[in-house]
Amino acid sequence: MRNALLPLITLALLGCGGSDSGNSATNATKTPLISLSFNDVRFAECIATEAVYNKIEYVEDLHHLNCTGTGITSVWGLDQLTSLTSLELGYNQLTEIDASNLSKLERLNAEVNVLTQVSLPDGERLTHLDLDENDLTTLDLTGLKGLTEFTATHNPLTRIDWRNEYTKLSQINISNTQLTSDGFNHCSKLV
């Protein structure tokens, strides 16, 4: 099925200028979006639509992706979109997201899915994380030093793993979960 998506993305990208646009010397070192593979047709269509609408041809130029409410069931291949800074995946049917390779990611919005597993990138970049209304029982936030806003309401959460140095965290909402101890006493800037 992955190879079947290539013509769809190729057609979409060629329709907006394709390989004739831009500086060919600079573009020679970039990765064409048409060379990527995805196993969910709707995810591939979302990427193609974003590329056509914003006239994006290369992975390195795709910084924002909004696939809200598009019926996606898998984001296999997401790890190829290494320049993403903002990712909107809310209101789909996702059971897992592996964003651990997205080191530039600043904002992840994945509310109202059926997520049971989320892998996140370590570092200072990710500042906003919305995982409301999923099926998460545990979360590992230990590598997210730059987190400022976090929400995971309406999840069957029983445990959140994290560090003592969340000095930037200013907003958190974990209401309607099954957490018995907050563990947030290390977050000095919470209001």
Spatial neighbors of 54 by CB under 8 A, at least 6 apart, are none
Q: What is the mean pLDDT of residues 55-81?
A: 98
Q: Compute the distance between CA of residue 70 and CA of residue 89 in angstroms, rounded to an integer.
A: 9
Q: Compute the distance between CA of residue 51 and CA of residue 11 in angstroms, rounded to an integer.
A: 11
Q: Read off the pLDDT of residues 28-42 as tens digits, 9 standing for 90 and up.
A: 799 999 999 999 999
* Joined tokens for residue 61: 């130029």
Q: Compute the distance between CA of residue 79 and CA of residue 84 in angstroms, rounded to an integer.
A: 10
pLDDT tier for residue 86 given thresholds of 50, 70 and 90 = very high
Domain extents in the chain:
1-62, 63-191
If one counts every other C-beta atom within 10 angstroms of the C-beta of residue 51, the result is 23
| Least confident piece of the model among 14-18, 87-91, 147-151, 165-169 | 14-18
Query: What is the H or E stretch that residue 149 is in?
Result: strand 149-151
How large is the C-alpha radius of gyration of the chain? 18
Contacts of residues 170-173 at CB distance under 8 Å and 24 or more positions apart, as own/partner, are: 173/132
Give residue 123's pLDDT: 87
Of the chain, the percentage scoring pLDDT greater than 90 comes to: 68
If one counts every other C-beta atom within 10 angstroms of the C-beta of residue 19, the result is 12
Give residue 99's pLDDT: 98
Average model confidence (pLDDT) across the chain? 86
Query: In degrees rounded to 5, what are phi and psi of residue 144?
Result: -95, 75
Give residue 3's pLDDT: 47
Give residue 181's pLDDT: 62
Query: 63-191: which CATH architecture?
Result: Alpha-Beta Horseshoe (3.80)
Spatial neighbors of 143 by CB under 8 A, at least 6 apart, are 120, 121, 122, 123
Look at residue 121 and tell me whether its pLDDT is greater than 70.
yes
Q: 86-88 and 107-109: which strand pairing?
A: parallel
Q: Is 25 helix (H, G, I), strand (E, B) or coil?
A: helix
Give residue 162's pLDDT: 80
- How big, in percent rounded to 5, are the helix, strand and coil portions of the chain? 20, 20, 60
